[in-house]
Amino acid sequence: RDRIERRAERAGLKLPGEIVLRLSEYVELLRKWNARINLTGLDDKDRGLDRLIIEPLMAAEYLPQKGTAIDIGSGGGSPAIPLKLVSPGLFVRMVESKIRKAAFLREACRHLEISNVEVETGRYEALLSRPELHEAHDILTVRAVRMSPTSLRNLQAFVKPQGLLGLFRRSSAKDAEVPGVEPPLMVRSRHALVGALSSELVVLEKRSF
C-alpha cells in the first residue's frame, strides 16, 4: 500500500485511501495467482508497479469516466481494473482469450466487489460476429505494440461513432505519427504517461462521415 501511494505521489496523483487499499488488494491477489500461473511480468521493482497501476491511473485523466468500455487482451487486469476502480461510472467489458487469465479476472472482480463488469473468454475476433457488440462502446482500451490497419479496422467496429480508442504503448522519438490509423479513425491526442517506461496513451477518435 505504501509503495502505491509513493509511486502515485511521484506521478502527481492524489488517490483516496479507499482506492489505494483496493489497488493494493488487487496487486496482492495478482501476486498470489502469478505464483501459479503466469498472468503478467509483475516484479518487486517500481517499474512493474508503474506499468500495472500508475500508467492506467494517469491515463484515466484523458478517458471517459462513465459510459461503456471494452478492454482487449485484459490479461492480468491492467489497464482495465485500475481504470474501473477510479471510474466507477464505467461499465467495463474485459476480453481475454486464455481461460485461466479470464478466471483470474472474474475472481479479482468478485474479491474487490467490482460491479458493472463483464469478462468475455475468447479472442476479440470471435466477438466481431456478435451484432450486439458492434458500435456498443464509448471507449476501447488496448496495450499495443504496433497496430496494423486491419487490427484497428476490426477494433473500431466495437466503438460508437465519436467514441474513442485508447492505445497504451511505448513511445520513441521516431514515432512522430501513429502507424495504421486511417478513416474513420483519426489521432485525437497523445499523452506521455510514465517517463521511466517511455510510455504514452494515444487517443483515437472514430469519426462519422
Checking if the pLDDT of 42 tops 80, the result is no
Checking if the pLDDT of 28 tops 80, the result is yes
Cβ–Cβ under 8 Å, residues 178 and 187:
yes
CATH number of the domain enclosing 159: 3.40.50.150
pLDDT of res. 134: 97
pLDDT tens track for 57-90: 999 999 999 999 999 999 999 999 999 999 999 9
172 vs 200 pLDDT, higher one = 200
Q: How far apart are the first and last CA of the chain?
A: 47
Domain span at residue 7? 2-206
Mean pLDDT, rounded, for 4-19: 92
Checking if the pLDDT of 208 tops 60, the result is yes
pLDDT of res. 173: 46
What does the alpha-carbon distance between residue 71 and residue 117 come to, in Å, rounded to a whole number? Answer: 11
**Total tally of structural domains belonging to the chain:** 1
- As a whole number, the mean pLDDT across the chain is 92
194 vs 145 pLDDT, higher one = 194
Least confident of 128-132, 133-137, 176-180, 181-185: 176-180
Residue 208 buriedness (CB in 10 A; 0-12 / 13-18 / 19+): exposed
What is the percent of the chain with per-residue pLDDT over 70, rounded to a whole number?
94
What does the alpha-carbon distance between residue 209 and residue 108 come to, in Å, rounded to a whole number? Answer: 40
Mean pLDDT, rounded, for 103-109: 98
Checking if the pLDDT of 39 tops 90, the result is no
Mean pLDDT, rounded, for 94-118: 97
What does the alpha-carbon distance between residue 94 and residue 86 come to, in Å, rounded to a whole number? Answer: 16
Residues 6+ apart with CB under 8 A from 153: 182
Mean pLDDT, rounded, for 90-112: 97
What does the alpha-carbon distance between residue 83 and residue 67 come to, in Å, rounded to a whole number? Answer: 13
